[in-house]
Structure 1
Protein backbone atom coordinates (compact mmCIF):
# COMPACT_ATOMS: atom_id res chain seq x y z
CA UNK A 1 0.00 0.00 0.00
CA UNK A 2 1.22 3.48 -0.87
CA UNK A 3 0.65 6.99 0.45
CA UNK A 4 -0.02 10.06 -1.66
CA UNK A 5 0.44 13.69 -0.59
CA UNK A 6 -1.21 16.85 -1.89
CA UNK A 7 1.56 19.18 -3.09
CA UNK A 8 -0.62 22.20 -2.33
CA UNK A 9 -1.66 21.61 1.29
CA UNK A 10 0.10 18.44 2.49
CA UNK A 11 -3.05 16.30 2.94
CA UNK A 12 -2.16 12.59 2.76
CA UNK A 13 -4.15 9.76 1.23
CA UNK A 14 -3.15 6.34 2.61
CA UNK A 15 -4.29 3.45 0.40
CA UNK A 16 -4.40 1.11 3.42
CA UNK A 17 -6.86 3.36 5.26
CA UNK A 18 -8.86 4.69 2.32
CA UNK A 19 -11.39 7.40 3.16
CA UNK A 20 -14.59 5.64 4.24
CA UNK A 21 -16.15 9.00 5.19
CA UNK A 22 -15.84 9.95 1.48
CA UNK A 23 -16.96 6.57 0.10
CA UNK A 24 -13.45 5.20 -0.55
CA UNK A 25 -12.98 1.83 1.15
CA UNK A 26 -9.78 0.85 2.98
CA UNK A 27 -7.37 -0.86 0.59
CA UNK A 28 -8.42 1.24 -2.41
CA UNK A 29 -5.41 1.90 -4.63
CA UNK A 30 -4.78 5.43 -5.87
CA UNK A 31 -5.53 4.34 -9.43
CA UNK A 32 -9.01 3.23 -8.30
CA UNK A 33 -9.85 6.53 -6.59
CA UNK A 34 -12.30 8.27 -8.98
CA UNK A 35 -10.72 10.87 -11.28
CA UNK A 36 -13.34 13.38 -10.11
CA UNK A 37 -12.14 13.05 -6.49
CA UNK A 38 -10.59 16.14 -4.95
CA UNK A 39 -8.53 16.94 -1.87
CA UNK A 40 -10.90 17.34 1.08
CA UNK A 41 -8.68 20.04 2.61
CA UNK A 42 -7.92 22.38 -0.31
CA UNK A 43 -10.07 21.18 -3.23
CA UNK A 44 -7.40 20.39 -5.86
CA UNK A 45 -7.66 17.30 -8.07
CA UNK A 46 -5.70 14.04 -8.13
CA UNK A 47 -3.10 15.53 -10.50
CA UNK A 48 -1.79 17.62 -7.61
CA UNK A 49 -0.80 14.56 -5.54
CA UNK A 50 2.58 12.83 -5.48
CA UNK A 51 3.46 9.41 -4.15
CA UNK A 52 5.46 9.49 -0.92
CA UNK A 53 8.54 7.37 -0.43
CA UNK A 54 8.32 5.66 2.95
CA UNK A 55 11.41 4.16 4.56
CA UNK A 56 11.14 0.52 5.49
Structure 2
Protein backbone atom coordinates (compact mmCIF):
# COMPACT_ATOMS: atom_id res chain seq x y z
CA UNK A 1 0.00 0.00 0.00
CA UNK A 2 1.34 3.36 -1.05
CA UNK A 3 1.23 6.70 0.72
CA UNK A 4 -0.34 9.55 -1.22
CA UNK A 5 0.40 13.27 -0.82
CA UNK A 6 -1.97 16.17 -1.51
CA UNK A 7 -0.45 18.42 -4.18
CA UNK A 8 -2.24 21.42 -2.66
CA UNK A 9 -1.45 21.33 1.07
CA UNK A 10 1.03 18.47 1.46
CA UNK A 11 -1.20 16.25 3.64
CA UNK A 12 -0.09 12.62 3.45
CA UNK A 13 -2.68 9.84 3.36
CA UNK A 14 -1.09 6.75 4.93
CA UNK A 15 -3.15 3.62 4.21
CA UNK A 16 -1.63 1.88 7.22
CA UNK A 17 -3.23 4.52 9.47
CA UNK A 18 -6.35 5.42 7.46
CA UNK A 19 -8.16 8.58 8.54
CA UNK A 20 -11.41 9.72 10.15
CA UNK A 21 -13.41 8.43 7.15
CA UNK A 22 -11.45 5.24 6.44
CA UNK A 23 -10.30 2.50 8.81
CA UNK A 24 -6.65 1.56 9.09
CA UNK A 25 -5.60 -0.61 6.17
CA UNK A 26 -7.75 1.19 3.57
CA UNK A 27 -5.81 1.61 0.33
CA UNK A 28 -6.09 5.06 -1.29
CA UNK A 29 -7.69 3.58 -4.42
CA UNK A 30 -10.43 2.06 -2.22
CA UNK A 31 -11.51 5.43 -0.83
CA UNK A 32 -14.87 6.58 -2.25
CA UNK A 33 -14.84 8.93 -5.25
CA UNK A 34 -16.23 11.74 -3.11
CA UNK A 35 -13.40 11.51 -0.57
CA UNK A 36 -11.53 14.79 -0.09
CA UNK A 37 -8.36 15.85 1.69
CA UNK A 38 -9.23 16.27 5.39
CA UNK A 39 -7.02 19.38 5.57
CA UNK A 40 -7.80 21.46 2.45
CA UNK A 41 -10.73 19.56 0.88
CA UNK A 42 -8.85 18.82 -2.37
CA UNK A 43 -10.30 16.00 -4.48
CA UNK A 44 -8.65 12.57 -4.83
CA UNK A 45 -7.16 13.30 -8.30
CA UNK A 46 -4.99 16.00 -6.73
CA UNK A 47 -3.06 13.42 -4.68
CA UNK A 48 0.25 12.02 -5.92
CA UNK A 49 2.17 8.89 -4.85
CA UNK A 50 5.19 9.37 -2.62
**TM-score between the two structures when normalised by the length of structure 2:** 0.91
Paired residues for 1:29-44 under 5 Å: 29-44=27-42
Q: CA deviation at 1:23?
A: 2.7
Gapped runs of 5+ residues in structure 1?
none
Choose between structure 1 and 2 for higher RCO, CA contacts under 8 A separated by at least 6 residues.
2
Aligned residues: 50
Return the index of the structure with the highest Cα Rg. Answer: 1
CA distance, structure 2, for counterparts of residue 30 and residue 51 of structure 1? 10
- Larger helix proportion, structure 1 or 2? 1
Gapped runs of 5+ residues in structure 2?
none
Aligned-CA RMSD value: 0.8
**TM-score between the two structures when normalised by the length of structure 1:** 0.83
